[in-house]
């Protein structure tokens, strides 16, 4: 079912009520023709379990929708049809109505999806008594009042008759905790509430009314609205300042013991900033996830590694897109969560589209230890900027001086933000986070009701260092391999596809370190292949093995692969020239939802493997001695079948390189000339067919590869002219606007 869109509806109500009424009348009459049993729109329950939380205030009651992720809120309805305050509300997941207590006329009511109130016929509650605390579970409404007790009302009779008599049953009169709201945990079935005065979190057993002190939340105040999400996170909204706090109760289930509860850390973590109020009550469908992935996302998340608190689970930073407050020239796209590892916010497909929206921050000078630096920040308009730098490179923004920019006001256009790199900073690659918003006082985590978060990698350097990037600091070339060599096959160029870039760190005019970064894009074949890079003119003995580093998805690797007890080193031994192996078997790094990984139509999934190789050199080498992209190649995984051209499993002896790149010393030269290969090592001819075609291509862009078994000529017809003209025509044949999109993955 399509979730209800409260905000849109309200906007239509207020702006175009007349037109809307006509449309509704028309749609209703159409639906009536189709379905005789349909209820009138005005009395209908909610059509789904909404991800939004509801907040109710004032007399007559005002109904708000609150996005707990960002704290953003919107008035949904100001006319409930009754001049009364409604409190103690809860969402009933069985019939999808809201139930609450009319504190003006002292009776139990329910609200439909239009937030219109119906009074219910309930007996058994104490006379002349208001209830401000309530929630619903399992089609039963519970109300609580300090000093009065806990009551339960079975709502099932309403299924057949809205005016059916209901009776309230007293569960316990023992009720000393000072609550202003309570909520049912969706997974353990217990009620939870925070005592306003002490800040203590209590669990209440709904069958007996007995209470258990879970611990101290560390926050006090009037928590007028409390909610759960489907994962068991508990949210408190404080009336006085609108702050929304989150307590992690996600481990609790029906089988949890009292000890499980009391051993939890129940500290309330500041999560977002919502509306403040003199009087609040909250209700939410507890089975709903916090962000509904069936609707378009309007929230921007960051993309630093997970240790920087990037994911929603870790209260990672996020901003509601307001269309006005952002960094760079392009407004950000919506995300459903933060990205860590290969799946960066620059490229992730959300809402059916994606683009590089991390375009507002540029590190235009070096970050040298102990010296000043300048950052260029482009703002869409007025707003407030804060930024954090992980100076000591320990994977967080918690340390001394790591908030380097605090609530600096920006104006539209380019802003120059100076900062000082502390003397305790440690040289090397690190991460930074920039948050731009209409709100000040943001931390590096938590929600914001406007703006954008941009996470950027940066390098803390010693003085006198320069950098040479290929093809650009954060841009890519694509490497695409056919793995059937020495036989030419379907030329879909998707058996192994990598995004790839290199960074050369230069000091005193010589290269001191080479970094290579890549993201696996596709695996379109059954053969098992590894991936490696040969540095043709760098001696193996010139690589500093002590500081050589390989990361898979930001995690440091000891080996390039293992097979049982066998381990494979990252820097291969017995080669004169350095060969660095990224992975021995790429299929061990990727799992597919289909037969292949991201090559079949209808088999979309996000990237799941990236790598970073950092190769320090013992003796610096001249700028001219290496040429990016060097010699990246695939090779056959040891001990596995790799085609009928080989009488036994070829293993490491089978390599497939870019055209005219010589294989390594571990290549089995007996394979030259097999099947369609016409390599002639004596003249430097390698990996070409009789027609001089290659088995591997380097595309100088972030390239979209053909789908399974679609020859490259079908997907990119201009490739023909490019080849036949010897590269003088159609040089940009690989760009998306040159493709036939139906033949791309």
Partner 1 sequence: MFNKKMKIMMSMLFIFVISACGGSGGGGEAPTTAVTPTATPTPIPTVAATPAPVADSDIAQSEVAVAMLAMNNLKAEAGFKFAIKQQVSVALDLTELLELAQQTGQRAYVSVYHEYTKLPTGGFYPNASSRVLSGEVSDGQFQHSFIRLNNQASYLVEIWFYNGELPIQKELTVAANNISW
| Stretch (H or E) spanning 577 | strand 577-583
With contact defined as beta carbons under 8 Å apart, do 429 and 409 qualify? no
Which residue lies nearer to partner 1 by CB, 64 or 531? Answer: 531
CB of 211 to partner 1, least distance (A): 46
> How would DSSP label each residue in 221-268?
S-EEEEEE-TT-EEEEEETTT-EEEEEE-TT--TT--HHHHHTS--PP
Pick from 208, 206, 185, 183: which is nearest to 194 by CA? 183
CB of 301 to partner 1, least distance (A): 19
For 676, phi then psi, to 5°, come to -90, 0
Of residues 407 and 526, the one with the C-beta less far from partner 1? 526
Nearest approach in angstroms of CB 493 to partner 1 is 11
Shortest distance in whole angstroms from residue 483 CB to partner 1: 7
Residue 621 CB, nearest approach to partner 1 (Å): 14
Q: How near is the Cβ of 563 to partner 1 at its closest, in Å?
A: 17
d(CA 652, CA 574): 13
| Tokens 């192994």, residue located | 496
Query: Smallest distance from the beta carbon of 745 to partner 1, in angstroms?
Result: 11
Distances from the Cα of 309 to the Cα of 232, 300, 318, 411, 626, angstroms: 19, 14, 11, 28, 38
Q: Are the C-beta atoms of 673 and 568 separated by less than 8 Å? A: no
Closest distance to partner 1 from the beta carbon of 579 (Å)? 22
**Closer to partner 1 by Cβ: residue 165 or 673:** 673
Give whichever of 346 and 401 is closer to partner 1, judged by the CB atom: 346
Q: Is 375 helix (H, G, I), strand (E, B) or coil?
A: strand
Closer to partner 1 by Cβ: residue 460 or 699: 699
Q: Considering beta carbons, is residue 243 or 743 the nearer one to partner 1?
A: 743
Give burial (CB, 10 Å; 0-12/13-18/19+) of 25: exposed
Cβ nearer to partner 1, comparing 308 with 722: 722
Nearer to partner 1, 18 or 741 (CB): 741
Integer angstrom CA distances of residue 182 from 90, 144, 216, 226: 9, 9, 16, 6
User: Whole-number minimum distance, CB 559 to partner 1, in Å?
Assistant: 24
Considering the complex, state which of residue 47 and residue 414 has its C-beta at the smaller distance from partner 1.
Answer: 414
In contact, 199 and 218? CB cutoff 8 Å = yes
Q: How near is the Cβ of 417 to partner 1 at its closest, in Å?
A: 9
Q: How far is the CB of 508 from partner 1 (least distance, A)?
A: 10
Torsion of CA 110, 114, 116, 122, to 10 degrees: -10
How is residue 80 written in tokens? 């409930």
Measured CA to CA, the distance from residue 197 to residue 210 in angstroms comes to: 20
Closer CB to partner 1, 469 or 568, in the complex: 469
If you search the block for the tokens 């007293």, which residue do you land on? Answer: 170
CB of 372 to partner 1, least distance (A): 5
- What distance in Å separates the CA atoms of residue 452 and residue 70, rounded to the nearest whole number? 12
Q: Within a 13 Å sphere around the CA of 356, how many CA atoms are in the beta-carbon half? A: 8
Q: Which is nearer to partner 1, 31 or 364 (CB)?
A: 364
Closest CA to 387 of 397, 372, 399, 378: 397
Nearest-approach distance from CB 526 to partner 1, in angstroms: 5
Please work out, in degrees rounded to the nearest 5, the angle formed at the alpha carbon of residue 82 by the alpha carbons of 81 and 85.
Answer: 130
Looking at the Cβ atoms of 276 and 506, the one nearer to partner 1 is 506
First to last CA, the chain: 30
> Which tokens belong to 136?
């619903």
Identify which of residues 294 and 372 has a Cβ nearer to partner 1 in the complex.
372
Give the dihedral sign, CA 266/267/271/274.
positive
């Amino acid at each position: 079912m399509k979730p209800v869109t409260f905000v849109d509806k309200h906007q239509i109500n207020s702006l175009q009520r007349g037109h809307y009424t006509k449309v509704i009348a028309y749609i209703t009459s159409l639906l009536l023709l189709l379905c005789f049993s349909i209820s009138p729109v005005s009395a209908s329950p909610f059509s789904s379990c909404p991800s939004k939380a509801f907040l109710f205030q004032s007399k007559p009651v005002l109904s708000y929708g609150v996005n707990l992720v960002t704290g953003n809120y919107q008035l949904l309805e100001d006319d409930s049809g009754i001049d009364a305050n409604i409190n103690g509300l809860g969402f009933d997941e069985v019939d999808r109505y809201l139930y609450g207590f009319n504190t003006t006329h002292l009776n139990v009511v329910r609200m439909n999806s239009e937030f219109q109130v119906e009074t219910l016929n309930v007996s058994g509650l104490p006379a002349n008594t208001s209830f401000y605390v309530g929630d619903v579970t399992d089609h039963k409404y519970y109300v609580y009042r300090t000093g009065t007790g806990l009551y339960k009302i079975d709502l099932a009779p309403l299924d057949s008759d809205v005016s059916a008599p209901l009776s309230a049953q007293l569960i316990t009169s023992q009720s000393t905790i000072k609550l202003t709201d309570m909520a049912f945990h969706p997974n353990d079935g217990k009620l939870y509430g925070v005592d306003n005065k002490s800040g203590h979190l209590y669990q209440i057993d709904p069958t007996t009314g007995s209470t258990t002190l879970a611990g101290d939340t560390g926050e006090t105040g009037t928590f007028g609205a409390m909610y759960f999400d489907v994962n068991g996170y508990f949210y408190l909204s404080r009336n006085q300042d609108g702050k929304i706090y989150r307590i992690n109760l996600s481990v609790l289930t029906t089988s949890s013991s009292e000890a499980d509860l009391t051993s939890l850390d129940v500290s309330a973590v500041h999560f977002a900033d919502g509306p403040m109020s003199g009087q609040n009550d909250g209700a939410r469908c507890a089975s709903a996830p916090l962000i509904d992935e069936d609707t378009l996302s309007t929230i921007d998340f960051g993309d630093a590694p997970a240790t920087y608190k990037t994911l929603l689970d870790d209260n990672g930073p996020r901003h509601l897109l307001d269309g006005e407050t952002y960094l760079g020239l392009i407004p950000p796209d919506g995300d459903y969560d933060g990205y860590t590892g290969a799946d960066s916010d620059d490229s992730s497909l959300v809402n059916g589209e994606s683009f590089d929206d991390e375009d507002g921050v540029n590190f235009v000078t070096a970050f040298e230890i102990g010296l000043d630096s300048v950052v260029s920040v482009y703002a869409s308009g007025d707003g407030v900027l804060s930024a954090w730098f992980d100076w000591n490179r320990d994977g967080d923004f918690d340390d001394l001086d790591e908030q380097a920019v605090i609530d600096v006001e920006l104006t539209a256009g380019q802003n120059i933000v100076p900062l000082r790199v502390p003397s305790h900073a440690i040289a090397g690659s690190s991460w930074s986070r920039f948050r731009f918003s209409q709100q000040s006082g943001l931390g590096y985590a938590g929600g914001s009701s406007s703006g954008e978060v941009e996470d950027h990698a940066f390098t803390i350097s010693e003085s006198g260092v320069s950098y040479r990037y290929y093809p650009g600091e954060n841009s890519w070339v694509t490497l695409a391999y056919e793995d059937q060599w020495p036989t030419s096959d379907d030329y879909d160029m998707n058996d192994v596809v990598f995004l790839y870039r290199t960074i050369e760190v230069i000091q005193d005019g010589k290269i001191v370190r080479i970094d290579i970064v890549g993201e696996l894009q596709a695996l379109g074949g059954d053969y098992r292949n590894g991936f490696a890079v040969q540095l043709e003119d760098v001696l193996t003995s010139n690589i500093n093995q002590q500081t050589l580093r390989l990361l898979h998805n930001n995690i440091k690797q000891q080996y390039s692969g293992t097979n049982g007890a066998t381990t494979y080193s990252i820097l291969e031994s017995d080669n004169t020239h350095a060969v660095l192996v990224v992975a021995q078997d790429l299929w061990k790094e990727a799992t597919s939802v289909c037969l292949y990984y991201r090559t079949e139509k209808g088999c979309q999934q996000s990237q799941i493997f990236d790598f970073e190789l950092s190769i320090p050199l013992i003796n610096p080498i001249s700028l001219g001695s290496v040429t990016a992209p060097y010699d990246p190649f695939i090779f056959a995984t040891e001990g596995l079948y790799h085609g009928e051209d080989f009488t036994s499993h070829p293993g490491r002896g089978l390599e497939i390189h870019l055209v005219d790149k010589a294989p390594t010393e571990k290549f089995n030269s007996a394979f030259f000339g097999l099947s369609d290969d016409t390599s002639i090592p004596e003249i430097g001819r390698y990996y070409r067919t009789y027609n001089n075609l290659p088995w591997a291509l380097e595309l100088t862009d972030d390239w979209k590869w053909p789908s399974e078994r679609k020859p490259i000529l079908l997907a990119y017809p201009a490739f023909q002219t490019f080849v036949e003209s010897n590269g003088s025509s159609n040089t940009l044949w690989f760009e998306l606007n040159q493709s036939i999109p139906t033949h791309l993955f």
